[in-house]
Amino acid sequence: MGLRYWVRLAAGLVSISWCSLALAAPRAMAEADKATEYRLRAVGDGYAQLQVGETATGGALGVGLVLDAPPGKSGRVEASVFYKRGTVDQVQGGRSSFGNFLLSPSSGTYSFAGSLNLFPLPIPDDLGRWGLRASIDSGKSDWLLAATATDPEVKKATVGTVGGLGAVARLEFKNPKEGNQVSFVGHAMLTMRTIRGDAGNDSDFVAAVLGTRHREFYGYEVGGELRINDVYASVAYAKVGGGRIDGLTGGQLLISIGVRGGVEL
């Protein structure tokens, strides 16, 4: 029984736990939401990212919508959707370059990302909010396989997708310096990364650039984001199975620094 079996088993258990919590605490959520005023914001986001060890860099600019509670309020739901324009239009070179993109596809030519946080348990605010998180990040880039003495250059549009399901915790600092809003959000998720698009339909091409015909890679990710007003810094550790692919499998550390601000609609 390999990593894929255990990841699928754990994903099933997480899904069952999610459903159980949602069914067990609807009254608590309803009571909390009566006193919560949600806000919808149009948000701009820009960040730079470093992959430690591979010394790979990336980044993106994006716009999106965010639904959450105002500062000082304890909302039970947080949701966001973003469209982003990344720095990597074309991927070429060694296997690590292709692995880097699949690890963080939001650096591609364009990408779409969405997340949903649910906090169903009536935990006192001073203990933070603990709940469940689902996320998806899908980006497109062109993968280029260089010409050889016997084969011509091959370029294929590639869509890399990362889906995650797991736990989330949000901590609000109640006594920050006046005028500052400080928060920390941590997560631990099971993940699945996939290769789609023209490249995903050609197993020979995938084998040539990655050294494997696998187009699905399972693993987990733990990380956190510290935010002070509109500036944030995040760290995520991703463990991905599926053979040995530099820049993707094994343990990879991603560090990001960005700015996110918006206006209420």
Render pLDDT for 98-141 as a digit per residue (tens, 0 to 9).
888 888 898 888 899 999 999 887 777 677 889 999 999 999 99
To the nearest 10°, report the CA torsion of 26, 164, 74, 265: -110
pLDDT band, very low/low/confident/very high, at 25 (cuts 50, 70, 90): very low
Per-residue model confidence (pLDDT) at position 208: 86
- What rounded mean pLDDT belongs to the chain? 82
Per-residue model confidence (pLDDT) at position 163: 94
Range 207-225 burial, b when 16+ CB lie within 10 A, else e: eebbebebbebbbbbebbb
Nearest alpha carbon to residue 253 among 233, 239, 232:
239
| High-pLDDT (> 90) share of the chain, % | 35
pTM of the complete model beyond 0.85: no
Distance, in Å, from the CA atom of 75 to the CA atom of 69, rounded to the nearest integer, reads 5
Per-residue model confidence (pLDDT) at position 156: 87
Rounded mean pLDDT of 232-244?
89
